[in-house]
Amino acid sequence: MSWRARDVVPLTIGAYLCVLGGFMLADSTGWRPIGTRGLVGVAFGLAFLALGILAIIAAWRVRRFSRQLRRAIGHVRSDGGGWSIEDAIVSTVIGDISLDLRRAELPDGDTELQLLCWLGTIQVRVPRDVGVDVTGQAIIGTVDILGRREEGMVRDFRVRSENYSIATKRVQMRLSTFVGELLVVHV
């Protein structure tokens, strides 16, 4: 689940359960008899409404990024220098994402990167003078973010470099893998 969905899903489920509970209360008190068939219909209707809201939020979130690179199978690498970084989403189903930001042209201020990989490794090298704020999750695998290492299942994390608040160039990364390894290092 993405970091934004993790913020929205509990609210959506909570609202769904409150409305469904209200219908059940109205039915059980006889104030507004609905019946079992009506409650099932209300439950499915609310579920589709919730999914629709989540889809709209996800589409809005993705649209605001100027660059998107998606690969079903294959590796995404940035080995050469002189390339510019801007807000972007990079994703692959099976493969690795390897970004070396040391020779990239980073703008002043915040740059947001979303790196998504179903099966593979996400590896990012960042210059020491760049502030880094990393959030994300690995369902099964290893997470090593700025020296903080965890292994196992369902690893959610947030790590911020010590120089983040004072750095003129900052990178906010949202990393996600289903099975794989996440690695972010200051070099």
Contacts with 8 (C-beta within 8 Å, 6 or more apart), sequence order: 54, 57
Residue-range domain boundaries for the chain? 3-63, 67-186
Let me know: does 180 contact 119? Beta carbons within 8 Å. yes
Q: What pLDDT does 150 receive? A: 85
Q: What is the DSSP letter of 105?
A: B
CA angle (112 as vertex; 105, 143 as ends), nearest 5: 105
Sign for the pseudo-dihedral over CA of 55, 60, 61, 66? positive
- The model carries a pTM of 0.62
Q: What pLDDT does 123 receive? A: 92
| CB-count burial class (<10 Å; 0-12, 13-18, 19+) for 39 | middle
> How do the pLDDT tens digits run along the chain, 187 residues long?
555 555 566 666 667 677 777 777 677 777 777 777 777 777 777 777 776 666 666 555 555 545 556 666 777 777 666 667 777 778 888 888 888 888 888 888 898 888 888 888 999 999 999 999 999 888 888 889 888 888 888 778 899 999 999 999 999 999 988 888 999 998 8
CA angle (180 as vertex; 90, 170 as ends), nearest 5: 45
Q: What pLDDT does 13 receive? A: 67
The DSSP bridge pattern shows strands 109-126 and 148-160 to be unpaired
Let me know: does 9 contact 54? Beta carbons within 8 Å. yes
- What is the phi-psi region of residue 47: left when phi exceeds 0, alpha when psi lies from -120 to 50, beta otherwise? alpha
Q: What pLDDT does 55 receive? A: 61
